[in-house]
Structure 1
Amino acid sequence: MIINNTTSLPIEKKVDQLYACIHKMIGENDFEIDAFTCDALDNEALNFTTKGIYHLYGFLEAGNEQLPWSIILKVIKPDSEEKDDIQHHNYWRREALLFEYNLLDDLSEYIIAPNIYLVEEQDDGTIWLWMERVNGRFPHSREQFNSIAHRLGMFNAEYLTAAKALPDEIWICRNWLKSWTISSRMYAPNPESYIYKLQDEETKYIWDWFKNLSENTNEMLDSLSQLPRVLAHQDLGQKNMILTSDDQLVFIDWQFLSISGIGEDLGKMFGVNMSLGIIPTDQYETYRESLFYSYIKGMRELGWKGDEGLARYGYCISTALRSVWEVPQLCSLAAELESNPTNAKLQERVYQLKQIINIHKAMDYEAESLKRTSL
């Protein structure tokens, strides 16, 4: 067998596992592989617990046919002591356990997960996840994001209308946003020593608002426990959502799976795609409303008759608390910009962050109003 391995993985020792995976993929025992390639996929920002993601592909001969095949191999690893905690938002073994327990099989008719072929523990402490390569496109238009929000609403409503029962495995995170917020505070820069020396009055005003938010953060997080519970992906960046040619919606990278309050997953989707620059700056408010409208429409179509304000509250809190990471980042970049005022890239990023945080502020204020009427 000819193996073109462009990586440092010892893939040459895994031919038996490869054959087992392809057997599961095609449902056929009698086939041969003469050659295949293993490439590392280009990932700009891997999760702390992901060592690498690889693409294995080639052709197989079955009968008189030559057929293409393709597999994704994800290697996960332990990281820090905190990520050994089964309730940490980034518990390193969670995705492997999801596959081992088949919890994502028959997930929903509205949202599906990739097929998994093999979960394999390695001597070096890593775990290899051999899975389906999903062909499709990432969402980029408002119409596509609205469609995803609509299906997310339908998916969530299944857990609120007795159509589906929530899983009860102890390693599924129950307080995802609280865990993420605590971790973000640990790693975010602290601008306290220089913030009031800045010339940028808008940034100083944002910092004052943020300090008030910080004082109320624990109370906000605790209030989420009053929301109806659903299964949440919690990492719906653009490249974790794939639209296939046969109109299926596939979510990949389930490491952050949690049981969360309604609206939280939608807030993560909205917030992270603003941060990534996927949602255009001049359309933040339009997306904010259209995503929520689509989400509620999906929930109503599945028969949920609950208080819309509860979903809106979860949506607002989840989005607003992203400021725990993004306000310190803004302050740091604003200080850098004052030292380098002609840097166009810095100017653009500071402007973008200010617009994002204006959305955070508006949703924080709305959440406070909703708290008085819906909780």
Structure 2
Amino acid sequence: MPEVAAADAEVREVLGVPPDRAEFEPLPHNPSNGVTAGVWRVGGGGRTAVLKVLTRTKETGVAWAASNDPRHWNFWRREAYVYRSGLARVWEAHGIRAPRLLECADRPDGDVALWLEDVPGTPATVWSPARHVEHVHRLGRAQGAVGAGEDHPWLSRGFLRDHTTDRTTGAELLDDDAAWRHPRIRRHFPPGLRADMVRLHHDRAWFLTVMESLPRALSHLDQWPANVLSGGPGTSVLLDWAFTGDGALGEDLGTYLLDSVLDHFLPADELPGLAKAAYDAYLHGLRASGWRGDEHLVRLGVCASVVKYDRLTALMPARADDEPVAYGGTGTVPADLRYRERGLALAYLAERAAEARVLAPRLGFPPAPSGR
């Protein structure tokens, strides 16, 4: 039994077996995040559960450090509060649920152990585009019906601004001509992409202000295929509620689409078609829920949310000689595949940023500084 997962009474309570009869299987997760001590599938006595241990003492880099601030995007206890309060069930009536909470234990060392239902559904990492579109329709229905929801003191605020500001590593490379002449960059990045991405970086404050001024919605803020499972007909199961809080309507959709490609769950050349179908489905879900707002504001939220990926601009030339690591550190990705896919995805991202700059002034927002 892994030391950090050791909790004899919890194993007996949840699985009904002695601890020495339980088997712990590590599950992929972000090992850099200071909030997560570990995630395991635990089996014994013919039953299984998922154990996630939340902590504030794990040593990690500044960008992923755990926070004690309940409003901070990486507040270490948030996911426990989301489950204990019942907030994780708020979208159930609209087709999106969370795993059932089996046990939430405050440990003597200060950590929190979340014991969750081991959902047997198919992970969205292997879904077809059509199934992603179905999930997005459910998301629109859920966010349209619930809206901003009830505010709790531990829900995140300013996620996009803080998360983006914390990730500025390598910004000096934006002006480094030698870095952009790297063969891998020249081979896979379309002409003009550097200028588009540098412009996004310089307009970052404007994009963030626009996003913070749009209609609000209770948002998961980490929706991507590794956090979604099928849950039976007409149902998705959403994992990892650690960032949950205030977001713009359309923000969850915008990042779901890009993350599906950036982490190689869908090929980048499918992104334009998927994005159109997904946006239409999301909007249809909003309307079906009774939402009667201005759909152009939703479109602006989807487009302007691409500011989250400003951090990739400098990371690409900075890591052009590295062997890319797959999600959760579970292998590697061929470098040329990573850069070809990222080049196409960033080109799509630049198009959405350009659309946001055109759309925002039509809706009464000041124009972007670089567009004046």
Which bracket does the TM-score occupy, shorter chain normalised? 0.7 to 0.9
SS at match of 2:343: helix
Determine the structure 2 residue equivalent to 1:91: 75
Alignment of 1:1-375 (within 5 A): 5=1, 7-9=2-4, 11=6, 13-15=7-9, 17-21=10-14, 33=17, 36-43=21-28, 45-46=30-31, 47-59=33-45, 68-78=46-56, 79=58, 83-109=67-93, 110-139=95-124, 140-160=127-147, 166-185=149-168, 187=169, 190-192=172-174, 194-196=176-178, 198-199=180-181, 205-318=192-305, 320-334=306-320, 345-375=334-364
Tell me the alpha carbon deviations over residues 186-238 of structure 1, each in whole angstroms, 9 at most, x when there is no partner: x4564246334643665784333223222221121111222211111111121
- C-alpha change, 1:92 and 1:189, in structure 2 (3 Å) is farther
Tell me the alpha carbon deviations over residues 13-52 of structure 1, each in whole angstroms, 9 at most, x when there is no partner: 523x334435xxxxxxxxx647732313231533331111
- C-alpha change, 1:348 and 1:104, in structure 2 (3 Å) is closer
CA distance in 2, matches of 1:334, 1:57: 41
Quote the offset at 1:87 in angstroms: 2.2
Determine the structure 2 residue equivalent to 1:63: none
Tell me the alpha carbon deviations over residues 114-140 of structure 1, each in whole angstroms, 9 at most, x when there is no partner: 111222222333211111111100122
User: TM-score, structure 1 length as denominator?
Assistant: 0.82
Tell me the alpha carbon deviations over residues 121-164 of structure 1, each in whole angstroms, 9 at most, x when there is no partner: 2233321111111110012201100000000000110134xxxx
CA distance in 2, matches of 1:107, 1:89: 21
- C-alpha change, 1:270 and 1:361, in structure 2 (3 Å) is same
Q: Which has the higher contact order (CA 8 A, sep 6+)?
A: 2
Asked if 2 retains the 8 angstrom alpha-carbon contact of 1:198 and 1:204, the reply is: no
Higher Cα Rg: structure 1 or 2? 1
User: TM-score, structure 2 length as denominator?
Assistant: 0.83
SS at match of 1:321: helix
Structure 1 residues without counterparts, runs of 5 or longer? 23-31, 60-67, 338-343
CA distance in 2, matches of 1:321, 1:252: 24
Residue type of the alignment partner of 2:80: A
- C-alpha change, 1:282 and 1:97, in structure 2 (3 Å) is same
SS at match of 2:196: helix
Determine the structure 2 residue equivalent to 1:341: none
CA distance in 2, matches of 1:42, 1:189: 33
- Tell me the percent identity: 22
Q: Which runs of 4+ in 1 moved over 6 A?
A: none
Asked if 1 retains the 8 angstrom alpha-carbon contact of 2:217 and 2:247, the reply is: yes
Quote the offset at 1:355 in angstroms: 0.7
CA distance in 2, matches of 1:181, 1:223: 14
Tell me the alpha carbon deviations over residues 151-186 of structure 1, each in whole angstroms, 9 at most, x when there is no partner: 0000110134xxxx612112211221111111122x
Residue type of the alignment partner of 1:96: A
Asked if 2 retains the 8 angstrom alpha-carbon contact of 1:159 and 1:229, the reply is: no
Work out the number of aligned pairs and report it.
Answer: 339
Residue type of the alignment partner of 1:182: T
Residue type of the alignment partner of 2:52: K
SS at match of 1:167: coil
Residue type of the alignment partner of 1:75: V
CA distance in 2, matches of 1:71, 1:336: 36
Quote the offset at 1:100 in angstroms: 2.7
